[in-house]
Amino acid sequence: MDIMLPEGDPERTGEKVRVQDPGEHPSVTLFREYLRLKTVQPEPNYDVAVRFLERIAAELGLGCQKVEVFPGRVVTIMTWQGTDPQLRSILLNSHTDVVPVFEEHWTHNPFEAFKDSQGNIYARGAQDMKCVSIQYIEAIRRLKAEGKRFPRTVHMTFVPDEEVGGCKGMELFVKRPEFQALNVGFTLDEGLANPTDAFTVFYGEKCVWWIKVKCEGNPGHGSQFIENTAAEKLNRVITSLLQFRESEKQRLKCDEHLTLGDVTSINMTMLSGGVSFNVVPSELSAAFDIRIPPTVNLQAFEEQLTVWCRAAGEGVTYKFYQKYMDQTVTCTEESDPWWKAFSGACRDMHMTLKCEIFPAATDSRFIRAAGHPALGFSPMNHTPVLLHDHNEYLNEQVFLRGIEIYACLLTSLASVPPLPVEG
Ligand SMILES: CSCC[C@H](NC(C)=O)C(=O)O
Ligand SMILES: [Zn+2]
Ligand SMILES: [Zn+2]
């Protein structure tokens, strides 16, 4: 249902304003409202998201704090105080930005949050990860309405710029005193959908390495057999890296116990150099996106890279554009109180969990590197993985079940008895 407000109306935001569809669950309506906010990279409208979140905090009677970690980059924190606020808190993190769209490939406007007859809600951010933000909020709304209180404080952080690497978002926030003051014990952040009945839980992430290999060689006329050209060297480098890529691909294919998170992936993503068809260039470069599992020895892997480059000839060097080195993983053993609380609640709900390493990079890496356990979990089973894809959608029933799941998880996590370190 759309109502166009007249020009000059104080409520007018320049966009259509929706009112509640009488048959729709209010949590779904709120989700769709959030999906319509254009927090899309590369120019996200963060102001509108912060105002939306402030409104919700006021509605729920939650403390709300804003931390500008970089000009124009605000982290919004909502806090539900526990009955024993000295205890370490539960942090529910989500990012507010979404990735760009190729609108011509979408069957519905990606910022309309169109719902079809089966209840599938189409929008950029439906899976990644505006669903999770609203599920956290709605779980807390429900628990509060039931009069629940828990010993541990629960914080929700809504951070900018995850989709562009988090360097003006979570990476800065974890270094701030306001983050220290949250006294984090355990964190939940984003995961991925799972098309089966199971839910995937990510207890660690692969390290991102972005390298550019530069090959220098002899220049000359394009009609000659010049010795030691940049192209011959680059060809050797590419062959070495892509052969390794193939062996890792086969290793993954041949072992059903392995997932993408367990093997090293390499992709050549950019090629550059050259000036003219008939000039043999003195320099050519190739860029590689490499993702390395936490079980791989990073020093040994870098040594292998240098061997490949040295073997390609003189004047072959590489430069890092991303070199993530922290390989911290979160404990998933029954002896761990946080895992016990998380997995125990899932067991009570008869959920099947699949524990994996996240194949890409999320803000969880900054939280783990800061010394706090974090699980990547988006409660979306029976759902194809559509993050960053065209026609990203989430079914409203799956979304609503996710709220129940978070309500149960929070009840368990925020009631974890004091740990030995908490006295
Ligand atoms: C190094 S920052 C890049 C972050 C991005 N995250 C996702 C989830 O796509 C990635 O893994 O490429
Ligand atoms: Zn995300
Ligand atoms: Zn994303």
Q: Is the dihedral of CA 104, 107, 109, 110 positive or negative?
A: negative
Confidence (pLDDT) at 20: 62
Would you state the pLDDT for residue 14? Answer: 38
φ, ψ of residue 216 in degrees (nearest 5): -100, 140
Residue 193 near residue 386 (C-beta atoms within 8 A): yes
26-204+329-414 architecture in CATH? 3-Layer(aba) Sandwich (3.40)
Average pLDDT, the chain: 95
Q: Exposed, middle or buried by CB within 10 Å (0-12, 13-18, 19+), for 87?
A: buried
For 252-298, how does the pLDDT look when each residue is reduced to its tens digit (9 = 90+)? 999 999 999 999 999 999 999 999 999 999 999 999 999 999 999 99
The answer on whether 221 is annotated among ligand-binding residues is no
pLDDT at 11: 40
Which tokens in the block code for residue 347? Answer: 């067991």
Question: 190 alpha carbon to ligand 2 midpoint, in Å?
Answer: 6
- List residues bridging with 210 in a β-sheet: 289, 322
Question: The domain 207-293+295-323: what is its CATH number?
Answer: 3.30.70.360
H helix or E strand, kind and range, residue 19? none
- CA atoms lying within 13 Å on the CB side of residue 63: 10
Residue 271 CB neighbour total at 10 angstroms: 12
Nearest CA to ligand 1 atom 2: 165
What DSSP line would sit under 402-413, residue for residue? Answer: HHHHHHHHHHHH
Best mutation site among 362, 365, 387 for ligand 1 pocket (most ligand atoms within 8 Å of CB): 362
- Nearest CA residue ID for atom 5, ligand 1: 361
Give the pTM: 0.92
Residue 8 has pLDDT above 80, yes or no: no
Is the pLDDT at 133 greater than 70? The verdict is yes
Question: Which ligand is in closest contact with the Cα of 165?
Answer: 1
Contact 326, 369 (CB under 8 A): yes
**What is the domain partition of the chain in residue ranges?**
26-204+329-414, 207-293+295-323
Please list the residues that pair with 158 across neighbouring strands. 76, 94
Residue 209's DSSP bridge partners are: 290, 323
Any binding-site annotation on 389? no
Question: Can you tell me the ipTM of this complex?
Answer: 0.98
pLDDT the model gives residue 423: 72
Strand 120-122 relative to strand 63-70, pairing: unpaired
Respond yes or no: is residue 326 known to be catalytic: no
Instruction: Give yes or no for residue 207 CB within 6 A of ligand 1.
Output: no
Q: 66 pairs with which residues across the strands?
A: 76
Catalytic residue among 2, 11, 47, 97: 97
Selecting among 2, 9, 11, 162, the annotated active-site residue is 162
Strand partners of residue 393:
122
186-244: pLDDT as tens digits: 999 999 999 999 999 999 999 999 999 999 999 999 999 999 999 999 999 999 999 99
Question: Could you say which ligand is closest to the alpha carbon of residue 133?
Answer: 2
* Residue 360, ligand 1, Cβ within 6 A: yes
Residue 133 C-alpha to ligand 3 middle, in angstroms?
Answer: 14
Pocket test for ligand 1, best of 98, 99, 161, 208 (most atoms within 8 A of CB): 208
Query: Does residue 162 carry a catalytic annotation?
Result: yes
Residues 333-369 have pLDDT tens digits of 999 999 999 999 999 999 999 999 999 999 999 999 9
Tokens encoding 208: 């991102």
